[in-house]
Amino acid sequence: MSVTGDEKLDYGDDRRTRVRYRVMAFLCVLAFLTYFDRICIMRAQGDIQRDLGLSDAEMGLVFGAFSLAYALFEIPSGWLGDRFGARGALTRIVLAWSIFSAATGAATGFVTLWTYRFLFGVGEAGAFPNMARIQSRWLAARTRGRAGGLLWLTARWGGAFSPLIFGTILRGVGALHARGFLVHVSAWRVGFWVSGMLGAVWVVSFYPWFRDDPADVAAVNRRELEFIHAGRGADAGHRHAAAGVWRALFTSGSLWAIALLYFSGGFGWSFFMSWMPRFLKEVHHVKFENSELMNAMPLFFGGMSCLSGGWLSDKLVKRIGRKKLGRAVFPVSGYITAAVAMFCIRYVHTPGQAVVLMCVAAGAFDFGQGANWATIVDIGGRFAGSAAGFINMVGNMAGFLQPVIGAMIFNRFGWNALFAVYSGAFLVASCMWAFIDPNRTFYETTSEDLTAETQGTQRIEEVVSGR
């Protein structure tokens, strides 16, 4: 079904509904929670180490446990959404991660803490692949850049505000301690229990009304359905991935290029999640408790850059009609700028100057995030969950390896070498766009897909006529 001039269609009083905005709002809240829950442990790191008697090396293994589990279970969790629907998959994901986030507050030592953080990573794995799945079914192709940018803005802001929000919770529990309440419970334990409850609230609000197919939601009218489906192509709903699809998934040059882009870029970006507080403390003498706002600023500006870059990418693709150029220009230019900014941090002498360059680096890196995410959704097609899972699996290995490799570089060569390596990682990421084709899905379109497209059109007409 083809729709042109969608803003000018005359359906009398049948104005286009906006249920897709409600869907995006829930996805944005979820994206915020994913980064809030995974990063809040950084704010409590010192208290946890003190109470549980953990060394720096053991705490590093705890941080790596999440990344390892998250990477290993990305593809299975993404496949679950493609096979059975994102509604059920996301419900399982959010409930599981909420349980083990809360369980972190019950840890009694290194083994239990490592186990809970590993299971937390298992639980959260697949969240973004299933969000990609929902976007592929609920959003028009022309809006995916700005939608991806908005999604990653809230994710980055979840990370940016996590230390501030979690720190406020800790201070609130400390005030209760002063009044004689909860005196036998450490503040960081209560903080994790509160964090776990937030995910449960999201599930209770999301599951009853959401449906994987917008045609199954009574509040979605004809005009919104047509707008969503315009230019989307074949969509067979929940289907088994044939052996040929799995082969294509692991042999697609575009998917491997995006995966390596995420790995290289993620390696450089991981500085903001790991080394930044220590750098500010050791080099610029800013204590951990005084660096909450400084640590938040790169992610805050990165989030704004996600949104603006995604919006501009959609505009450029529409204007020039060349999807690869309209998508590639933002991540490529952003990664090069981020590489220069990271390399120059070694030459500044004040914490303010260092934070400015970090904000430039983070903002430039995220300038292409919306375009990258839209490309994943486009290339993934009806298997967007599995495709995003594969890319996140490879990309998140950087989060697992970076603490080890970064520590080796730092201990042997110092801060200057570490920033040079991060700069080089951004440059490698920029080169990957030479091998990405956002105009094709990673699998071949078959006669079955064309039949599915016809059936999908008939399904829309049947639903509309029955309303």
Domains of the chain in sequence order: 15-465 (1.20.1250.20)
The answer to whether 147 and 24 have CB atoms below 8 angstroms apart is yes
Report the chain's mean pLDDT, rounded to a whole number.
85
SS3 content of the chain, % helix, strand, coil (to 5): 80, 0, 20
State pLDDT tens for residues 406-453.
Answer: 778 888 888 999 999 999 999 999 999 999 999 888 887 654 544 444
Structure-block tokens of residue 316? 């450029």
The answer to whether 367 and 308 have CB atoms below 8 angstroms apart is yes
* Amino acid residing at 360: V
Helices (H) and strands (E) in the chain, counts: 20, 0
* Amino acid residing at 197: M
Q: How far apart are CA 73 and CA 91, in angstroms?
A: 16
The DSSP code for 291 is -
Residue 121 has pLDDT above 90, yes or no: yes
Provide the pLDDT for residue 201.
95
Residue 356, CA distances (Å) to 77, 279, 295, 311 in order? 38, 14, 11, 24
Q: How far apart are CA 384 and CA 428, in angstroms?
A: 25
State pLDDT tens for residues 181-234.
Answer: 888 889 999 999 999 999 999 999 999 999 999 999 999 998 989 888 875 554
Provide the pLDDT for residue 239.
52
Give Cα 178 distance to the centre of its chain: 38
Q: Which residues contact 285 (CB under 8 A, 6 or more apart)?
A: none
Nearest to 300 by CA among 32, 22, 17: 32
Other beta carbons within 10 Å of 79:
22
Residue 389 has pLDDT above 90, yes or no: no
For the chain, how many residues are written? 467
SS3 320: helix
Residue 34 has pLDDT above 90, yes or no: yes
Q: Is the entire prediction scored with pTM above 0.85?
A: no
pLDDT confidence bin for 148, thresholds 50/70/90: confident
Provide the pLDDT for residue 313.
92
Provide the pLDDT for residue 110.
95
Provide the pLDDT for residue 444.
79
Rounded average pLDDT over 329-348: 95
